[in-house]
C-alpha cells in the first residue's frame, strides 16, 4: 500500500477525530512535509480533509464515495487496474472507453468508474438505470487479440470473479450467473455484466467489459427497482458496504483469472469458472430459430459456447446466446 492510500485509510477510519501530522509521519516513517503534500493532493482531488496547525488533520467526508486512493490493488504493476479513471457522471463507462480507445488514450487493463451514468447499457441495447452514488458502474479495457472470438467466456470469467467477491464480502452463498450476463441472489438480479466489441478508426477490433451493480440503496430507491424485479446488495445482506472494498476485491480477482485466460490456461479452469451458472446440469428449454429444444446444459467450451445435450439429438449443440427456461 502506498503512503497516500495509507494516509487516506488512517483518516477515514478515525471516525472524524483529529490525527496529528506527526503521528501520521511516525506511522509511515516519512516527514511531516511529505504528509502535508499527500493531504494537499487528496484535497485537490475532492477529498474533504480539514487541516489545523495545532491539531493535525480530520476526515470530514461522511458520504459513501468512491476514491481511487482507497482502491487497493494486490500489485501496483498488475494488469487490471493499472490505470483507474474516476468520473462524477458519464453517459456510459463502456462508451467512454470506446472514445478513449479511438483517440489512443487508453491501455489494456485500464478501468473507468463513474458515480453516475445517464445512459447505462444492458444486453440487447437495454438500459441499465444507474442510481447516483449508490452503485458500482465500471468498465475495463481488454486486449482484443485473445478476446474477440471469446467474449462470452470473458463475461463468464468476470461473473465468476464478481460472485467470488460477493461471497467474500457478504459471507453468503446462493449467488448465481443467469446466462449470459445477470448476477442474481436467490433468483433476484442486482448486477449485470456487458462485454462489447467495437472497431477503432483503423478498423482494429477492441473489447470492453462493463459491470453495473446496485450496492447501497435507500428504502425508497429499493422500492423503485423492486418494481422491475431487481434488488440491491444491502437489501440482500441487510447491511451497507464500502464500495471501494468491493471494487478492489473484484479487480484483484478478475486480474488473476483474466491472466489465466491470457496465458491460455483455459481448459483447466473452465469447470471452476462455470460453477455458478444457474442452469448448469438443469433440465431446460430454449428457442432456437423458432424451434423449442429441451435438454441439459452440461458445461462450456473454450470458445465460450454452452454445451447443450438435447433430448432429441444424439449430438450436443453449442450455444453462445439464448434465453433458457428451467423446465
pLDDT in tens, 221-264: 999 999 889 999 999 999 989 899 999 999 999 999 999 998 99
Tally the C-alpha atoms within 13 A of residue 53's C-alpha that lie toward its C-beta: 0
Task: Tell me the pLDDT band of 158, cut-offs 50, 70 and 90.
Answer: very high
Burial class of 319 by CB neighbour count within 10 A (0 to 12, 13 to 18, 19+): buried
pLDDT band at 59 (very low <50, low <70, confident <90, very high): confident
pLDDT over 70 (residue 146): no
Binning pLDDT at 50, 70 and 90, where does residue 133 land?
very high
Pick 80 or 13 by higher pLDDT.
Answer: 80
Report DSSP letters for 110-146, one per residue: -EEEES-BSSEE-GGG-EE---TTTEEEEEEEE-GGG
Domain spans, the chain: 3-59, 68-273, 283-326
Overall size of the chain counted in residues: 327
Nine cell digits for residue 170: 457478504
The grid cell for 280 is 448448469
CB 315 within 8 A of CB 215: no
Asked whether 273 and 257 are in contact (CB, 8 A), the reply is yes
Specify whether the CB–CB gap between 195 and 154 falls below 8 A: yes
Indicate if the pLDDT at residue 296 is higher than 80.
yes
Asked if 59 contacts 14 with a C-beta cutoff of 8 angstroms, the reply is: yes
| C-alpha span between 279 and 155 (Å, rounded) | 16
pLDDT for 243 equals 93
Sign of CA dihedral 95, 72, 245, 265: positive
Query: Strands 56-59 and 49-52: what pairing?
Result: antiparallel
Cell of 143: 486486449
* Residue 124 confidence (pLDDT): 61
CA distances in angstroms from 216 to 19, 113, 183, 189, 233, listed in the order given: 29, 16, 16, 15, 7
Nearest to 228 by CA among 129, 300, 159, 154: 129
Q: Which of the residue ranges 39-48, 117-126, 149-158 would you say has the lowest mean pLDDT?
A: 117-126
8 Å CB contact between 61 and 89: no
Distance of CA 112 to the CA centre of its chain: 10
Cα dihedral across residues 231, 233, 236, 240: positive or negative: negative
What pLDDT is attached to residue 269? 96
Q: CA 161 → CA 92, 111, 298, distances in Å? A: 22, 16, 21
The CATH fold assigned to 68-273 is BirA Bifunctional Protein; domain 2 (3.30.930)
Q: What is the residue-averaged pLDDT of the chain?
A: 89
**Residue 1: pLDDT over 60:** no
State pTM to two decimals. 0.85
94 in Cβ contact with 139 (< 8 Å): yes
Query: How buried is residue 286: exposed, middle or buried, by Cβ count under 10 Å (0-12/13-18/19+)?
Result: buried
Give the residue, 2 or 95, on which the prediction is more confident: 95
What is residue 17's three-state secondary structure? coil
Q: What is the DSSP letter of 175?
A: E
- Among 197, 162, 195, 155, residue whose Cα is nearest residue 176: 162
Contact call for residues 84 and 68 (beta carbons, < 8 A)? yes
Among 98-107, 170-179, 246-255, 306-315, the least confident range: 98-107
Model confidence pLDDT, tens digit, residues 11-44:
888 867 889 999 999 999 999 999 999 998 888 8
Helix (H, G, I), strand (E, B) or coil at 103: coil
> Is the CATH number of domain 3-59 3.40.50.1950?
no
Indicate if the pLDDT at residue 308 is higher than 90: yes
CB 243 within 8 A of CB 133: no
Q: What is the CATH architecture assignment of 283-326?
A: Roll (2.30)
Q: Residues 185-208: pLDDT tens digits?
A: 999 999 999 988 876 666 666 789
Amino acid at each position: 500500500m502506498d503512503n497516500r492510500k495509507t494516509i487516506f485509510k488512517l483518516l477515514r477510519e478515525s471516525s472524524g477525530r483529529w490525527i496529528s501530522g506527526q503521528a501520521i509521519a511516525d506511522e509511515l516513517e516519512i516527514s511531516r512535509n511529505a504528509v502535508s503534500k499527500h493531504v494537499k493532493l487528496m484535497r485537490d482531488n475532492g477529498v474533504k480533509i480539514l487541516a489545523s496547525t495545532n491539531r493535525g488533520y480530520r476526515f470530514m467526508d461522511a458520504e459513501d464515495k468512491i476514491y481511487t486512493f482507497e482502491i487497493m490493488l494486490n500489485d501496483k504493476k498488475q494488469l487490471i487496474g493499472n490505470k483507474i479513471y474516476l468520473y462524477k457522471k458519464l453517459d456510459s463507462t463502456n462508451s467512454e472507453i470506446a472514445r478513449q480507445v479511438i483517440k489512443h488514450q487508453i491501455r489494456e487493463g485500464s478501468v473507468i468508474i463513474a458515480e453516475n451514468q445517464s445512459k447505462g447499457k444492458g444486453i440487447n441495447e437495454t438500459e441499465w438505470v444507474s442510481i447516483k452514488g449508490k452503485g458500482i458502474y465500471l468498465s475495463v479495457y481488454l486486449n482484443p487479440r485473445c478476446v474477440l472470438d471469446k467474449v462470452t467466456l470473458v463475461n463468464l470469467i468476470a461473473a465468476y470473479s464478481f460472485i467470488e467477491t460477493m461471497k467474500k464480502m457478504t459471507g453468503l452463498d446462493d449467488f448465481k450467473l443467469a446466462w449470459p450476463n445477470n448476477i442474481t441472489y436467490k433468483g433476484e438480479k442486482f448486477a449485470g455484466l456487458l462485454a462489447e466489441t467495437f472497431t477503432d478508426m483503423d478498423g482494429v477490433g477492441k473489447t470492453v467489459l462493463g459491470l453495473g451493480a446496485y450496492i447501497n440503496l435507500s428504502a425508497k430507491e429499493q422500492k423503485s427497482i423492486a418494481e422491475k424485479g431487481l434488488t440491491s446488495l444491502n437489501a440482500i445482506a441487510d447491511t451497507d458496504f464500502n464500495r471501494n472494498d468491493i471494487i478492489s476485491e473484484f479487480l484483484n480477482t478478475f486480474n488473476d483469472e483474466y491472466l489465466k485466460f491470457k496465458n491460455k490456461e483455459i481448459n483447466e479452469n473452465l469447470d471452476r469458472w462455470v460453477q455458478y451458472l444457474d442452469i448448469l446440469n438443469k433440465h431446460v428449454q430454449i428457442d432456437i430459430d423458432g424451434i423449442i429444444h429441451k435438454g441439459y446444459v452440461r458445461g462450456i467450451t473454450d470458445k465460450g459456447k454452452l454445451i447443450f445435450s438435447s433430448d432429441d439429438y444424439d449430438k450436443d449443440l453449442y450455444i453462445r446466446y439464448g434465453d433458457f427456461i428451467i423446465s
